[in-house]
Structure 1
């Protein structure tokens, strides 16, 4: 089967990342999803479905995605039954899907929209990860101003300043699985690699799943530090001079 062939190269990394997400509580129950745009094209053996929004940029591309209702803890143990192979056909107006465990993730519109952008503007990014980091979600409920939320995270420790500076945007709550959420996420991904969905979670893109996990880990740790500091986080965070020194020493 095409799904087995497509999975063979990526199985180890998928299982490792899925296991870490489940272990850390960032993918409770069936929360979270992931996708990989494959470098090799495959021909899924399955049903053909129309796309509500055509994605001609993805014509001929194949993707591995989590199935709807799948659990990361199950994906780590049995990837074959928790992943779906999708092939984009008919000039991007339809897709073929092959799966042994269910339909493609409910966030499929967002995944497709982001990958369509990445193909054109950030072609070295093949991975998309959506997860539910506990402390980050909590912080989005407490800090309503988007600029303040980003600034708080960046000031918590040097690695956050380096990885999240100019690389993180915040979206107000939008219904999950909607085309509206996909469109808003794409607009943000044009500028950054990490998008916070307020009250919901985080989306990250990267060359591979390990790179997306890097961003999630740093953002979540920064949020946890901010919550531990409470109201003092505004006074205790890295100063402007300290940030300047970090960027001068380690920034591009």
Structure 2
């Protein structure tokens, strides 16, 4: 994909994030690996509803500006840590989807193996410990989880997803928020009923046939 196409795709994802109510004001950020130590990222200080291709910036692996007339997102350290820990990652999405973020604020991991699609796609979703935004605390908090997880909740903050490309990272954020909504509904109805362990293992084993990229924690609870 050419750079202008990638820029357009990033803007499309940003607009979707805003339209779905996953980011208010200047919240949320998106980045894509361009290769050769170059990354395309959203700038700081602008609503995701207003992002246009020329506003995006290019940075290096140190977060230094290579191209563009705006500063990169203040959460760029978190994005770069994802790429450092996960060489297979081609894109990173950070947003505040309300239901999933509600779980992060409540300190409740989304680790019930109760929905077939989620078991296959992402497995359990832990909560990375609290870190002050834009500092090194957030990258340090998420690092231990990235070896096994493509999706994380950020304590009192929001959610993070990585993918082999931008579409994959965005879809994982969609999957997370839908699962959070279903989990909350199940809780209100008396609690989710977990799938039998042998069936869980069988579902996880189907990832290869479905060509699901990325990492999976296997069967793991965080409560």
Does TM, scored on the shorter chain, surpass 0.5? yes
CA RMSD of aligned residues (A): 2.4
- Tell me the residue number matched to 1:38: 34
CA distance in 2, matches of 1:229, 1:206: 28
Using the size of structure 1 for normalisation, the TM-score is: 0.73
How far is 1:129 from its partner? 0.8
- Give the match for residue 65 of structure 1: 41
Contact 2:57–2:65 (Cα < 8 Å) also in 1: no
Structure 1 residue 99 and structure 2 residue 68: aligned? yes
Structure 2 counterpart of 1:45? none
Q: Which has the larger radius of gyration?
A: 1
2:196 maps to 240
Contact 2:18/2:48 (<8 A) preserved: yes
- Alignment correspondent of 1:224: 181
1:206 is the counterpart of 2:202: no
Cα drift, residue 229 of structure 1: 2.9
Change in 2 beyond 3 A, CA 1:248/1:179: closer
Query: Is 1:28 the counterpart of 2:4 in the alignment?
Result: no
| Alpha-carbon separation, structure 1, partners of 2:204 and 2:85 | 31
1:159 Cα offset (Å): 0.7
How far apart, CA to CA, are the structure 1 residues paired with 2:103 and 2:198? 23
Does 1:133 find its partner at 2:109? no
- The unaligned stretches of length 5 or more in structure 1 are 1-5, 42-60
When you count helix as a share of all residues, which structure comes out higher?
1
State the TM-score, normalized to the length of structure 2. Answer: 0.82
Deviation at 1:240, TM superposition (A): 2.1
Which sections of structure 2, spanning at least 5 residues, go unmatched? Answer: 209-223
Per the alignment, in what secondary structure is the counterpart of residue 80 of structure 1?
A: helix
Checking the alignment, whether the CA contact within 8 Å between 2:161 and 2:173 is kept in structure 1 is yes
